[in-house]
Amino acid sequence: DIQMTQSPSSLSASVGDRVTITCRASQSISSYLNWYQQKPGKAPKLLIYAASSLQSGVPSRFSGSGSGTDFTLTISSLQPEDFATYYCQQSYSTPPSFGQGTRLEIK
């Protein structure tokens, strides 16, 4: 099974900051990497699929990059509604696996 590791586990930032979250796979997964946002008490929401494709309706301040084993999610200018937990997920092989999450908090 493929293990996904995110860093950092938590992050404090301010509105307007540029933020980067990293996800590393235990083996190469090409571009089979998705990013989700989850707010407390809510279901996850798809942000990015295929490593860098923006899901419809997601603001352009979100972007994804990477391939192979190393991936990043970048928020170019943090907005108040972006404070949430972010998960990466590989869809290269079954079982699909998620990272442990990165909690983004207000500084």
Q: Does 24 sit near other proteins (CB under 8 A)? A: no
Output the six-digit token pair for 93: 């092989």
Q: Give the interface size with other proteins as a residue count (CB under 8 A).
A: 26
Task: Say if residue 95 is preceded by a cis peptide, omega within 30 of 0.
Answer: yes
Q: Which is nearer to other proteins, 6 or 83 (CB)?
A: 6
User: CA 10 to CA 93: how far, in whole Å?
Assistant: 27
Determine contact, residues 79/61, Cβ cutoff 8 Å.
Answer: yes
Is 40 among the residues that bind other proteins (CB under 8 A)? no
Q: Which residues bind other proteins (CB under 8 A)?
A: 30-32, 34, 36, 38, 42-46, 49-50, 53, 55, 87, 89, 91, 94-101
